[in-house]
Amino acid sequence: MKTIFSPDQMLHAPQFEVSDGKLEPAKEIPSRAQMVLDRLKAVQFGEIIEPRSFSLDPILKIHASDYIEFLSDFWRLWTEEGRTEQEAFPFVWPVRQLRTDIVPDQIDGKLGHYSFDAGTPMGPHTWTAVRRSAETALTGAAMMAEGARSAFALCRPPGHHAHKSFFGGYCFINNAAVAAQYLRDHGAKRVSVFDVDYHHGNGTQAIFYDRADVQFLSIHADPKVEFPYYLGHADEKGVGEGEEFNLNYPLPHGTPWEVWSRALEEGCASIEAYKPDVLVVSLGMDTFEKDPISQFKLKSEEFNLIGERLAKLGLPTLFIMEGGYAVEDLGVNCVNTLTGFRQR
């Protein structure tokens, strides 16, 4: 299994985030990718290659053009406001009864229009890193379309919280959604996206919610008690043609492997019934017992079991990295998953 990664993805280096009611040190930091790279090399897991270049077209199949234009142009607009010494935080959003049909001219109004949380600051090189992370996912998808049985797109910044037209949860471009669409455009009739990150993949769900050609499944902490709070309940089954092709498995804080693995089984059974041509796995390792911002109890050796179970589906599988904030253990937990998958 080959890994795809670009050092450009290190250029997004947030210093702070607003979470749990206060300014905290940022958790989605470049060293996350470094730890995974180090582990891949330490165990000689396989070749690590740089992503190909892509035009914006495959990204614009998923995200709105005004949103992508905003992301790519943002830092220039921010510096024109004379705000160069710090990273950019939104502080106001168009929630209930406020308008989203008009995008404000002023940069803070724009920033809130195109985001949903204050935990995802933008810096001078965010766009470069985000675009390369999406190209890492697209390169993995292209390799699968060209016949690879598996690939690992070491995406960072992650993507599963990003919607068509707004960012949040450390995510700007929905890497897994862009990859799934690319696969649909290059031979796959049906694609399953299985999100095993601790947090609900609200962005990926919303992007494919009315579609039958991409099945979305997510095992995650119950949104009644966990970020992203406002999507991810079990009654969200899809809409229109997409009815029944969205499957959420919300679980309580404290969930151990014994419980989590039952949801994994249910998800795998649904994927088998759906019969996709290819599987995209949104691979977050924040289900780990020592993750600093999460509250599931998976142990490092149980990540091997995730990989083994997914391999039993016998599908071409593209792994896309999402979360995981126990940085010291991230490399082991990520490579354990990929090792389990390959062992079969």
User: Which residues are marked as active site?
Assistant: 161
Fill in the amino acid letter for 7. P
Contact of 195 with 176, CB cutoff 8 Å: yes
- Using the rule CB under 5 A, which residue among 121, 250, 284, 316 binds Zn ion? 284
d(CA 246, CA 195): 11
- Using the rule CB under 6 A, which residue among 113, 156, 199, 220 binds ligand NCCCNCCCCCS? 199
Strand partners, 298: 288
d(CA 65, CA 49): 29
Q: Would you call 167 helix, strand, or coil by DSSP?
A: strand
The answer to whether residue 156 forms part of the interface with ligand NCCCNCCCCCS (CB under 6 A) is no
The answer to whether residue 288 forms part of the interface with ligand NCCCNCCCCCS (CB under 6 A) is no
Q: How many chain residues are in contact with ligand NCCCNCCCCCS, going by CB under 6 A?
A: 15
Fill in the amino acid letter for 101. D
Q: Is the previous residue joined to 276 through a cis bond, with omega within 30 degrees of 0?
A: no
The answer to whether residue 284 forms part of the interface with ligand NCCCNCCCCCS (CB under 6 A) is yes
Residue with tokens 């994994």: 264
The residues in 310-339 that bind Zn ion, with binding defined as CB under 5 A, are 323
Question: Would you say 197 or 329 has its CB closer to ligand NCCCNCCCCCS?
Answer: 197
The 214-221 sheet, strands edge to edge: 48-49, 2-4, 150-153, 317-321, 278-283, 191-195, 214-221, 246-251
Using alpha carbons, select from 256, 321, 232 the residue that is nearest to residue 33. Answer: 321
Question: Would you say 51 or 284 has its CB closer to ligand NCCCNCCCCCS?
Answer: 284
The answer to whether residue 293 forms part of the interface with ligand NCCCNCCCCCS (CB under 6 A) is yes
- Using the rule CB under 6 A, which residue among 227, 257, 296, 303 binds ligand NCCCNCCCCCS? 227
- Using the rule CB under 6 A, which residue among 140, 158, 203, 232 binds ligand NCCCNCCCCCS? 158
Strand partners, 18: 23
Tokens encoding 80:
């024109």
Residue nearest to ligand NCCCNCCCCCS (CB): 323
Fill in the amino acid letter for 55. S
Contact of 181 with 61, CB cutoff 8 Å: yes
The answer to whether residue 328 forms part of the interface with ligand NCCCNCCCCCS (CB under 6 A) is no
Q: Which does 270 bind (CB under 5 to 8 A by kind): Zn ion, ligand NCCCNCCCCCS, none?
A: none
Question: Would you say 187 or 252 has its CB closer to ligand NCCCNCCCCCS?
Answer: 252
Question: Would you say 218 or 317 has its CB closer to ligand NCCCNCCCCCS?
Answer: 218
Contact letters for ligand NCCCNCCCCCS, residues 96-135 (x by CB under 6 A): -----------------------x----------------
Burial 270-286 (b: 16+ CB within 10 A, else e): bbeebebebbbbbbbbb
The answer to whether residue 286 forms part of the interface with Zn ion (CB under 5 A) is yes
Cα Rg of the chain, angstroms: 19
Q: Which does 235 bind (CB under 5 to 8 A by kind): ligand NCCCNCCCCCS, Zn ion, none?
A: none
The answer to whether residue 14 forms part of the interface with ligand NCCCNCCCCCS (CB under 6 A) is no
Using alpha carbons, select from 260, 251, 277 the residue that is nearest to residue 191. Answer: 277
- What count of Cα atoms within 13 Å lies in the side-chain half-sphere of residue 236? 23
Binding stretches for Zn ion (CB under 5 A): 197-199, 284, 286, 323
Binding stretches for ligand NCCCNCCCCCS (CB under 6 A): 19-20, 119, 158, 161, 169-170, 197, 199, 227, 284, 286, 293, 322-323
